[in-house]
Structure 1
Amino acid sequence: MRFFLRLLGLGILLLLVVLAVNTLRLPSYQLTGVAPAPAVPLADSALARLAGAVRIPTISTTDYAQTDTAQFGRFGRYLRQAFPKVFAQLKLEKFNNYGLLFTWAGTNPALKPVLLLGHYDVVPVLPGTEGKWAHPPFAGIQADGYLYGRGTLDDKASVLAQLEAVEYLLGTGFRPARTVLLAFGHDEETLGQRGAGAMAAELGRRGVRPEFLLDEGGLVKTDGVPGVQRPVALVGISEKGYLTLELTATGQGGHSSMPPAQTSIGELAAAVLKLEQHPFPARLDADNHLLDYLASEVPLGQRLAFANRWLFAPLIMKKMAGTAAGNATLRTTTAPTMLRAGAKENVLAIDATATINFRLLLGDSVAGVVREVRRIIADEKIRIKILPNSSAPSPVSDPAAAPFQQLHRTIRSVFPEAIVAPYAVVGATDARQYAALSPNVYRFLPAQMNQEAIESMHGSNERLPVANYPRMVQFYATLIRNSQ
């Protein structure tokens, strides 16, 4: 027994030594000694131009035939009036009438171009929620330090800030050595086939291979992440895949006074409940780069766990899964989003259909998720249909690559208070349309926001802090300069 206790004590001591050594050897991935970015003088008219853009209701609808595309044309004409130097000196090409591709030719054609992305379409305001807005969603009203309106965050602020940056640089006489491309889609909110898809396909046919490309995605989260006291600039280096399934159950119908033991609605509800009660397994591998970059910035206890994920991964995952945002980074998510059944209160529905949206974790596949759904439901009477526009998770861009370090340096020069961390974007962006063109695909919106403001995207009271906008313009101007 004494020998066993000694052996156990030796094992515990060895474990403590390993844990301590791994923790002490943790490197910091944060760049230091970064000079502040040059100032970009910005007149009040810049915010007024953004407000004017918000007032144009460029709403995407799922059925494109129902989309008011006249507003897209109106938006393009507004940009021409707002940014005369851009339209006079850059080449503009249109795709499917409303996708806008600007080319700012560089002085050295041997250099790979830089591709900056954005989209100017917005999601609708849900009927019945208009009263929840402090200010009308398409009025572009500035109040209480914010600019309110649909698109102030997603994604007109990014589009207008890029154009402001280029307009400013043109006014200074700056000429890029490396060609700068600006690609603005008009249907990102409906999966981007007509805008980004068409532009990406044409660039691919031309053999364009950008040094890097940047789209919306992560942002500077001012309330940080648990354990980190500073803002965190989250840079997407990949994004989850996208899949929507329709589940349909069919019954006999008939009068509601004589229902069968199980109706089509009941059978469908049972299938949906099974999916919610059996989530996809959690994995930490998609968060490894994020944890690497945060490890040196968290308190000792968390640092110990992050440095020894081989032992503490279950504990880390349990903590992350405590929030909806954290849970989404750990697994393929399952979200029932629509139900359709029945036509009259006293008539049994024949067909009952549920729409389920999945966001696929890196390493999962569309075929694999469909197989797992069939296994979980375990009901051959439920028909499963894959809706169009499914996509696999995007490739992971290496944060050790020079373009990421350049982006990292730019962020630190504009947001010196922030910690930079790569992560996997849980939503879908236009960037996935361009993923085949470059190994360096990043997703970052240079805006400072807390969790409450982030949740206003696609919700009520979407708003941009007015103080954010000059730094957004400064960021894009600095990035263009730094990329040369």
Structure 2
Amino acid sequence: MRFVLRIVALLLVIVIVFLLVNTLRLTSHQLTDVPPAPPISVPDSAIQRFAGAIRIPTVSYTDYALTDTTQFDKFLTYIRASYPLIQQRLNPQTFNQYGLLYEWKGRNPALKPVLLMAHYDVVPVIQGTQGMWKRPPFAGIIEDGYLYGRGTLDDKMSVMGLLESVDYLLRTGYQPERTLFLAFGQDEETSGFRGAQTIAAALKKRAVSLEYVLDEGGVIKPEGVSGANKPVALIGISEKGYLSLELTAIGKGGHSSMPPPQTSIGLVAEAVSKLEHNPFPARLNGGVDQLLDYLASEVSFGQRVAFANQWLFGPLIKQALTKTKSGNATLRTTTAPTIFRSGAKDNVLPIDAVATINFRLLPGDTVDGVVARVKEIIDNDSITVSVLGKGNNPVPLSSTETPAFLTIHKTIRSVFPNVLVAPYVMLGATDSKYYSALTSSIYRFAPIPLTDAASAGVHGTNERISINDYRNMIWFYVTLIRNSQ
């Protein structure tokens, strides 16, 4: 017995030593000794131009017939008048009338171009919430150091910030070594088919191969993440896939006084319940592992041991992350029932019942795999499972070892020296997915600090941006363009 205990004790010591060695061997991924970016002067006129852009309600609707395209015409006219030097020098092109592509030719055609992108369409203001706004959503009012309005965060800030940065560089006589593309979509909020998809297809037809793409996505989290006690700049290295399924059951209908053992509503409700009670498995290898790896050297010793030894502490890490909605969503393909349609009268049995389930696919999962698993979980031939619209697989993970990621990392540290940098997987979708045929280096980052409370304004009420943060955004883009040469 003593011999067995000694063996167990020896094994325990070996495991502890192994854990400590792994922990102590950790090296920081954070760049050090990055010189501060040369400061630039952002005039008040840049803020006024941004406010003017917010006053044009470029609202896009899923039903394109509801979209007031005259506002898109106004926006394009406004851009052309506000930045005449860009119009003269950057070879502007339009796609499907409202998608914008600018090309700033570089001196060295042997270098692959960089594409910086954004979108200028915005979501509608939710009906009945207009009175909840501190300032009207399309008034473009500046007050107490903030600009209020729909699009200040999503995503006219990036459109206007990029235009201001290029205009600044043009006025200072700057000429890039590598070609720079600016691509601005008009329908990102409704899947980007008319804008980004068309622009990307045109570039592919021209056999353009890009050094990297940068789109909206990650931000600077002032509260930190995963135990880090400093602000963290999250760079999206992928984004989740998208799929909606309809579950349909057909019954015989009839009078409610003589119901069958299970109605069509009951069949679909049972199927939905099965899906909610059998979520997709939680995985660290969908991108969370890289986030933890980047932050491991910046957290407490206990967390450092766990992050450096995910092979052992993975279950505990997953257990901790699944306690929050956002943490849970980073770990798995999510299942969200969103629509239920059935019945017309309280005393009539419905013939059909239909439920819509939305899935956001973690890298590593596929549309076909999700459909197959849903059918397996439901396990009922009376339920028809069909794909609603067109789903898309997750975008492949972009490497953090590329010169492009290093350039973005370096630029962040030069403009925001006290910020940590870490890769992550976006929970939502962006237009950048359409450029995956042009480069394997697609990143998603908007250079602004955004608290959890402030992020509620995105697609919500009282959307606003700090004027100082917008000035820093322009500074960041100027520095990034210079660093990308």
* Matches for 1:452-463 after TM superposition, within 5 Å: 452-463=453-464
Contact kept? 1:240, 1:360, Cα under 8 Å: yes
Per the alignment, residue 291 of structure 2 pairs with: 290
* Distance in 2 (alpha carbons) for counterparts of 1:259 and 1:140: 57
Alpha-carbon distance, 1:141 to partner: 2.2
Partner of 2:413: 412
Q: Give the SS at the match of 2:92.
A: strand
Work out the CA distance in 1 between the residues paired with 2:202 and 2:419.
Answer: 37
Question: Which residue pairs with 2:301 in the alignment?
Answer: 300
Letter paired with 2:21:
V
1:269 and 2:263 aligned: no
3-state SS of paired residue (2:471): helix
CA-to-aligned-CA distance 1:115-157 (integer Å, 9 cap, x gap) = 0010111112222232332222222223343322221111110
1:324 and 1:264, CA in 2 relative to 1: closer, same or farther beyond 3 A? Answer: same
Structure 2: distance between partners of 1:272 and 1:459: 28
| Alpha-carbon distance in 1 for matches of 2:142, 2:268 | 46
Correspondence for 2:94:
94
What's 1:149 paired with? 149
How far, CA to CA, are the matches of 2:190 and 2:112 in structure 1?
A: 30
1:159 and 2:159 equivalent? yes
Q: Greater shift after overlay, 335-344 or 86-95?
A: 335-344
Where in structure 2 are the equivalents of 1:55-204 lying within 5 Å? Answer: 55-204=55-204
* 134 and 204 in structure 1: CA distance in 2 versus 1, 3 angstrom threshold: same
1:191/1:389 contact within 8 Å kept: no
Q: CA contact under 8 A between 1:336 and 1:354: conserved in structure 2?
A: yes
Which residue matches 2:314? 313
After superposition, the Cα gap between the structure-2 partners of 1:460 and 1:345, relative to the gap in structure 1 and judged at 3 Å, is farther
Answer yes or no: is the 8 Å Cα contact 2:116–2:182 preserved in 1: yes
Deviation, structure 1 residue 255: 4.0
Q: Residue 329 in 1 paired to residue 330 in 2?
A: yes
For residues 191 and 440 of structure 1, the distance between their equivalents in structure 2, rounded to whole angstroms, comes to 21
Q: Could you report, residue by residue, the CA deviation over 1:352-378 in whole angstroms, capped at 9, with x for unpaired residues?
A: 222211111111110000011111122
In 2: Cα distance, 1:190 partner to 1:170 partner: 33
Distance change in 2, residues 1:107/1:313 (3 Å) = same
* Contact 1:280-1:333 at 8 Å conserved across structures: yes
Is 1:48 the equivalent of 2:48? yes
Task: Say whether the 8 Å CA contact 1:272–1:336 is kept in structure 2.
Answer: yes
Q: What residue number does 1:380 align with?
A: 381
Take 2:90 and 2:187, find their aligned partners in 1: how far apart are those partners?
Answer: 23
1:258, distance to aligned residue in structure 2 (A)? 4.3
Deviations 1:424-452 (A, max 9, x none): 11111111000110111111011111111
Structure 2: distance between partners of 1:346 and 1:194: 45
Aligned to 1:18: 18
Question: Is the Cα–Cα contact under 8 Å of residues 218 and 444 in structure 1 kept in the other structure?
Answer: yes
Give the Cα–Cα distance (whole angstroms) in 2 for the partners of residues 80 and 338 of structure 1: 42
Q: How many angstroms apart in 1 are the aligned matches of 2:133 and 2:342?
A: 31
Displacement of 1:347 in angstroms is 3.6
Residue 215 of structure 1 corresponds to: 215
Q: 2-side partners of 1:337 and 1:230: how far apart?
A: 36
Q: Deviations over 1:446-481 (max 9, x none)?
A: 111111112321122222222210111011111111
Question: Any conservation in 1 of the 2:188–2:195 contact (CA below 8 Å)?
Answer: yes
Q: For the residues of structure 2 that align with 1:332 and 1:242, how far apart are their CA atoms?
A: 10
2: CA distance between counterparts of 1:344 and 1:162? 54
Evaluate the alpha carbon distance shift between residue 352 and residue 461 of structure 1 in structure 2; reply closer, same or farther with a 3 A threshold. farther
AA partner of residue 469 (structure 2): N
**CA offset digits 1:267-298 (Å, max 9, x no partner):** 22222222112110000012121111100000
Under a length normalisation based on structure 2, what TM-score does the superposition of the two structures give? 0.97
Q: Distance in 2 between matches of 1:255 and 1:49?
A: 63
For the residue of structure 1 that corresponds to 2:444, the secondary structure is strand
1:394-473 correspondence runs (5 A): 394-473=395-474
SS at structure 2 position matched to 1:60: coil
Deviations 1:11-37 (A, max 9, x none): 111111111100000010000011111
Matches within 5 A, 1:253-264: 253-264=253-264
Distance 2:383 2:484 in 1: 53
Corresponding residue for 1:338? 339
Q: What's the CA shift for 1:256?
A: 4.1
C-alpha offsets along residues 17-71 of structure 1, whole Å, 9 cap, x if unaligned?
1111000000100000111112121112222222221221111211222222222
- Alignment check: 8 A CA contact 2:226 2:292 kept: no
The match for 1:354 is 355
Distance 2:51 2:330 in 1: 34
Letter in 2 for 1:301: G
Task: State how far apart, in whole Å, the 2-side matches of 1:304 and 1:57 are.
Answer: 50
Residue 358 of structure 2 aligns to a residue in which SS?
strand
Inter-partner Cα distance in structure 2 for 1:346 and 1:465: 55
Secondary structure of 2:437's counterpart equals helix
Q: TM-score, normalised by structure 1?
A: 0.97
Greater mean deviation of Cα atoms: 470-479 or 370-379 = 370-379
Distance verdict in 2 for CA 1:389–1:73, change over 3 Å: farther
d(CA) in 2 for partners of 1:453 and 1:258? 53
Give unpaired runs (5+ residues) of structure 2.
none
Q: CA deviation at 1:257?
A: 4.6
**Aligned residue number for residue 205 of structure 1:** 205
Question: How many Å apart are 1:345 and its aligned residue?
Answer: 4.2
